[in-house]
Amino acid sequence: MEQTFDYIHELLNRQMALRAKIEESPIAGEIKMSYGQHFYQEEVRSMGLAMIRDGWDMEGEQLILDFTHEHYPTRAKDELIWINKMMHYLEAITDTFIDNLHAEGYRWLQGNVDMPNEHAIFYPVHDIDAFGKLSQELGLNTLIDLKIPNPLEQLPGWIYYRSVSK
């Protein structure tokens, strides 16, 4: 039980740091968050998946679903599908995986949370999407340039290919 509190404590600290960055931003009042494009949701998702990977299946899933029920009550089934996909399709970041991304023409890894974060979830992109651009405007460190090898060395987190349909 004490370990679950450690996860929650870390999550709350990350969310407070995120809130400070958002509030400092000149565009803070213009930010419109939506399901799947919500900075706090991504922090919760990352931590919940970390809990699941570490053996706290029910607690991690419940953490994610509690957030979804509070903010997007009609999307709970979608979130369960998302959790299931992530538990099946997340890949460790390896040199071979990065080489394959280069071969496929990807230019960036776009993370779902501010870095550093050992629980970050990355997806390869050819071009930075609107959520990535908003992250940059807020001063969040969510992009890894695949042309620069230093940040790729020992990059913590997980990677998946994002579906193109929404």
**pLDDT tens digit sequence for 8-57:** 999 999 999 999 999 998 888 888 899 998 999 999 999 999 999 999 99
Nearest to 11 by CA among 64, 49, 56, 47: 47
- pTM reported for the whole predicted model: 0.88
Which residues contact residue 53 at a Cβ distance below 8 angstroms, ignoring those fewer than 6 apart? 60
**Rounded distance, CA 149 to CA 86, Å?**
26
Residue 147: its pLDDT value, please? 87
**Rounded distance, CA 102 to CA 122, Å?**
15
Range list of H helices, the chain? 2-24, 39-53, 57-71, 76-89, 95-103, 130-137, 149-152
